[in-house]
Amino acid sequence: MSESEVAHKHEPETVATNDNKPAVDNAPQCETVETHDSEPVPTDVSHTESAVTGHEKPACKNGSPTKTAVTTVDKSAHKDKLETDTAAANYSKVKSLPTADLTETVAKHYNQLQESGLEERTKSRIFYMRNFNNWIKSMAINDILTRIGQKKSHGAEVSVLDLCSGKGGDLLKWRKGQVDRVVCTDIAGTSVEQSEGRYKEMLDRASHERRPQKIFKADFITADCTKQRLRDLYKDPELKFDLVSCQFSFHYGFESHQQAKQMIQNACECLRPGGYFLGTTPDSNELVKRLRASEDMSFGNEVYRVEFETPDKTQLPLFGAKYNFHLEGVVDCPEFLVHFPLVEKMAAEYGMKLVYRKPFADFFAEHIRKGDGRGLIGRMQALEPYPPAEEVDLLAKTSDAYTHARSYLDAHQADKQDGRPFANTKVGTLSKDEWEAVSLYLVFAFQKVEETARVPTSLDQAPARKRPVTDPEDNLEPSSKQTRTLS
CB 433 within 8 A of CB 301: yes
Cα–Cα distance for residue pair 402/366, rounded to 1 Å:
23
Taking the C-alpha atoms of residue 29 and residue 436, their distance in angstroms, rounded to an integer, is: 7
Q: How far apart are the first and last CA of the chain?
A: 6
Helix (H) or strand (E) holding 435: helix 432-438
Q: 101 among the known binding-site residues?
A: no
Separation between Cα atoms, residue 292 and residue 438, nearest integer Å: 19
Q: Is 164 annotated to bind ligand?
A: yes
Is 362 labeled as ligand-binding? Answer: no
418 is in an annotated binding site: no
The answer to whether 186 is annotated as binding is yes
H/E stretch holding 163: strand 159-163
Q: Cα separation of 216 and 65, whole Å? A: 35
Q: Report H helices in 282-334.
A: 284-293
Backbone angles phi, psi at 39, to 5 degrees: -90, 155
Residue 224 is labelled as binding a ligand: yes
Q: Are 405 and 16 in contact (CB under 8 A)?
A: yes
In degrees and rounded to multiples of 5, residue 193 shows phi and psi of -60, -40
SS3 295: coil
Residues 6+ apart with CB under 8 A from 399: none
The response to whether 247 counts as a known ligand-binding position is yes
98 three-state secondary structure? coil
Residue ranges of the annotated binding site for mRNA are: 133-134
Residues belonging to the binding site for S-adenosyl-L-methionine are: 137, 164, 186, 224, 247, 252
Mark the binding-site residues, compressed into ranges: 133-134, 137, 164, 186, 224, 247, 252
